[in-house]
Copies of this chain bind each other. A is one copy, B any other.
Amino acid sequence: MAQSDPEDREFKFSSNLSLEEIRSDQHNFCKERNWAQFHPPRNVLLALVGEVGELSELFQWRGEVTRGLPDFSAHEKTRVGEELSDILIYLVDLAEQCEIDLPRAVKEKMVKNAEKYPVERVIGRSDKYNDYPEYLLQEAPAGEEPQPEREEGDGSE
């Protein structure tokens, strides 16, 4: 998988916009339009799925895409930013509809991920990481749970 090494870059976001500011803005946006009534959890979840689909359409015919989207036009890159934004807006809206404290949940999840993938153990297996991509399904960066079949070692299958 050839690509520029993120370690070499110093990319940062340009502001400290918080999840709460996004929640508050979206809450008021919907309240002013009397749209909150249309936002029960499963509606917002399906809207989120719809936006993930629109984002995928921007990447679907390209084969592998490298960091920074060098092959995307300015217009296409703007479109990617808009779709990422729509997903984020609905994600924050969904957290509010579920009355889930998203900032706290994210911090707790990141702590859980760090405990789950101790640096020494993971670094030590980084070559295995390359040799057996399946390893990644068991130790996914964002703490995705292991697949049951694999957990069970699945000799049965």
Residues on A facing B (Cβ under 8 Å): 1, 3, 5-7, 9, 11-27, 29-43, 45-69, 71, 73, 75-91, 93-110, 112-114, 117, 119, 122-123, 126, 129, 133-134, 136-138, 140-151, 153-154, 156-157
Number of copies of this protein chain within its complex: 4
In the complex, how many angstroms separate the beta carbon of A73 from the nearest chain B beta carbon?
A: 6
By the criterion CB–CB under 8 Å, are B34 and A142 in contact?
A: no
Say what secondary structure dominates the interface of chain A: helix
A15:B25 contact, CB within 8 angstroms: no
Interface pairs A-B: 4 shortest CB-CB:
A53-B53, A1-B63, A81-B105, A17-B103
Given A36-B5, A95-B84, A154-B153, A106 contacting B17 (CB threshold 8 A):
yes
CB <8 Å contact, A142 and B75: no
Contact A100 B77 (CB under 8 A): yes
Tell me whether A59 and B41 are in contact (CB under 8 A).
Answer: yes
Question: Quick one: given A15-B103, A47-B60, A157-B73, are A141 and B23 in contact (CB under 8 Å)?
Answer: no
